[in-house]
Amino acid sequence: MQLTSLSLLAAWSALAVASLNVGSSGNGVGQSEFHLGVILPRQQSRTNLQVFSGALGGTGASAITNSGDPERPFEVDGDTFVCHPSI
């Protein structure tokens, strides 16, 4: 039990020191990924919100973009969609 606690403390300390060093480089490289935590793909500001980049049956996935309409925020191939399915 004591060895496990010591290992977890050492891992946490190494992670804390590594995250402090990223911000001190001054060149901005890597800061968007590690500044105050990891940024997930959907949290990044991108034009295409589609995270699947492969192809099924030889056809690639269409881009999901922001339509600019707050009532129907998502657009795929010219069609707009709401956040939740309508009942």
| 27-85 pLDDT tens trace | 555 554 444 555 455 555 558 888 888 889 999 999 889 888 888 888 999 999 887 76
Placement of tokens 């973009």 in the chain:
65
Do 87 and 50 share a structural domain?
yes
Do 17 and 31 share a structural domain?
yes
What's this model's pTM, rounded to 2 decimal places?
Answer: 0.42
Do 52 and 33 share a structural domain?
no
Do 85 and 65 share a structural domain?
yes
Question: How many domains are contained in the chain?
Answer: 2
What is the Cα–Cα distance from 83 to 65, expressed in whole angstroms? 13
Locate the DSSP E strands across 1-87: 55-56, 59-60, 64-66, 74-76, 79-81
Parent domain of 82 = 40-87
- Amino acid letter, residue 67: S
